[in-house]
Amino acid sequence: MDPENIIVTSSSAGTGFQPPPGSVPDASRSGAVVAVRGSVVDIRFDAHLPAINSVLRAGEDGRIVIEVMAQRDAHQVRGIALTPTQGLARGMAVRDTGAPLQAPVGRPILSRMFDVFGNTIDREAAPSDVQWRSVHRAPPPLTRRSTKSEIFETGIKVIDVLAPLERGGKAGLFGGAGVGKTVLLTEMIHNMVGQQKGVSIFCGIGERSREGEELHREMKAAGVLPNMVMVFGQMNEPPGARFRVGHAALTMAEYFRDDEHRDVLLLIDNIFRFIQAGAEVSGLLGQMPSRLGYQPTMGTELAGLEERIANTDAGAITSIQAVYVPADDFTDPAAVHTFSHLSASIVLSRKRASEGLFPAVDPLQSSSKMATPGIVGARHYALAQEIRRTLAQYAQLKDIIAMLGLEQLSAQDRGVVDRARRLERFLTQPFFTTEQFSGLQGKLVSLEDALDGCERILGDEFKDYPESALYMIGKVDEAKVEVKAAAAPASKSEGPPPAPVAPAADAHEP
């Protein structure tokens, strides 16, 4: 029987390992442990050899779950434990469930939080009337793929203008630790549910338990939990569980795309942890490591996950993936392999984060395959190129300013510096998910408003306004409101109207 097509209907979560109809009888499914080396378990079966990816259970009440990774000979298999192996000993009985690892799918899983086995971890009752599907599924055939390229608006200015995302595509958030990857992901969840009316699935691979609890609480407070599913494989879980949690989340996403024809936003935090878990599994199985200690099968494993994320005639799975970059080194094999699957790369800069420019997206390193005149339109493309050109010229002039001072620049170069600094501040934005920390009300900015603001700044309409007026606002007209509000008290006390506001004193400093 094809494990992909196994669907078992169950009335409660946590029983997803029921053997499929017509599987081998109970007596022939029993085996015995031959060897245990950490998470690697060798099991002997005399009557029936389990298939690759089959789930085996051992211990009291079958609490130890093992996935078959290799068939060593006609009677022995080698598996990776997806749960801790304490108490597992040689000679202990093992039962073949006859089915691969399965994930719950259906409407009842909305607003819930699951582990890799489909058990609820939000301290609420298990959902009823769910189906169970194998997490090992083939990518959609090319005949079902959509050939249209559409923009996926996020409501975040710097992304929509400079690195537009593709509906049904894959975008990567690249950055080291602490530059704002998770904050950007949670903001996109908020905007997706509020604006697109779709389903969001958050997959935490190698997450801290604190982050999962905070995300659940914040999404519940924001009112977006009813259209969201969370799946976690946490840091303290064995590598086998962390390696499969991405497949479980993707199986849930495929249900909403293929069965309910809905658009799905799949957020993965962090895809590097998936590669890392694969490297641990590979090492435990005794495979020779490849470059920099990664597994030799890294490209195949990553492609098996990424190719299932696709835009079909029924709906689309749009994926946004946080990618931890080890030591901020973008030549690391994990970052290089991930780049090849993405339609947009959003690079987060530690330098911009230290300057308080949030979201800390580097406009010169970030890119998108969608940023072409045929897809985004001639006006958007020309504006994005002009913004990049202005910011690149400013980056080159910074060294001259640092050595010789702003006075040595020509009038034309000073204009470039003024426009670039105002653009940098306009491309910042207050987030809904950080209101309690920043004290600023979140802003959702349409693509048209973002383009309009950039165009007017490049046209020098705001050259007499202080840079601070453009910092952390939504639409560009909010800068005028701020300046008028600041000037109002002065006009009441002094009598005559104030003169046009001059640029801030620090406007020309590098």
Per-residue model confidence as pLDDT tens digits over 94-148: 999 999 999 999 999 999 999 999 999 999 999 989 999 999 999 999 998 888 8
- CATH code at position 401: 1.10.1140.10
In the structure encoding, which two tokens stand for residue 181, read together? 């990857």
Based on the residue annotation, tell me whether 492 is a catalytic residue of this protein: no
Domain membership of residue 86 as a residue range: 3-102
Using CA atoms, how far apart are residues 152 and 196, in angstroms rounded to an integer?
A: 9
Using CB atoms within 10 Å of the CB of residue 487, give its burial: 0 to 12 exposed, 13 to 18 middle, 19+ buried.
middle
Q: Which of 207, 254, 424, 467 is catalytic?
A: 207
Q: Which of 29, 181, 262, 421 is catalytic?
A: 181
Residue 497 has pLDDT above 70, yes or no: no
pLDDT at 22: 40
Using CA atoms, how far apart are residues 145 and 371, in angstroms rounded to an integer?
A: 21
Task: Report whether the peptide linkage leading into residue 497 is cis, meaning its omega lies within 30 degrees of zero.
Answer: no
Query: Averaged over 458-482, what is the pLDDT?
Result: 93
Residue 118 is assigned to a structural domain of this protein? no
pLDDT at 500: 45
Based on the residue annotation, tell me whether 208 is a catalytic residue of this protein: yes
Whose CA is closest to 13, among 137, 125, 98, 96?
A: 125
Q: Which of 95, 208, 350, 456 is catalytic?
A: 208
Same domain, 490 and 386: yes
Residue 88 is assigned to a structural domain of this protein? yes
Residue 178 is assigned to a structural domain of this protein? yes
Residue 108 is assigned to a structural domain of this protein? no
pTM of the model: 0.83
Based on the residue annotation, tell me whether 112 is a catalytic residue of this protein: no
Whose CA is closest to 14, among 91, 124, 107, 90?
A: 124
Whose CA is closest to 225, among 196, 194, 247?
A: 194
Whose CA is closest to 292, among 233, 329, 332?
A: 332
pLDDT at 506: 43
Same domain, 183 and 273: yes
Exposed e or buried b per residue across 258-274, where buried means at least 16 C-beta atoms within 10 angstroms of its C-beta: beeebbbbbbbbbbbbb
* 357-411: pLDDT as tens digits: 999 999 999 999 999 999 999 999 999 999 999 999 999 999 889 988 888 889 9
Residue 353 is assigned to a structural domain of this protein? no
Mean pLDDT of all residues in the chain?
87
* 168-207: pLDDT as tens digits: 889 999 988 888 888 888 888 888 776 666 789 999 998 7
- CATH code at position 72: 2.40.10.170
Residue 268 is assigned to a structural domain of this protein? yes
In the structure encoding, which two tokens stand for residue 254, read together? 């495929």
- The number of distinct structural domains making up the chain is 3
* 321-347: pLDDT as tens digits: 999 988 888 899 999 999 899 999 999
Same domain, 329 and 409: no
Give the percent of the chain with pLDDT over 90: 62
- CATH code at position 257: 3.40.50.300
pLDDT at 196: 63
Residue 356 is assigned to a structural domain of this protein? no
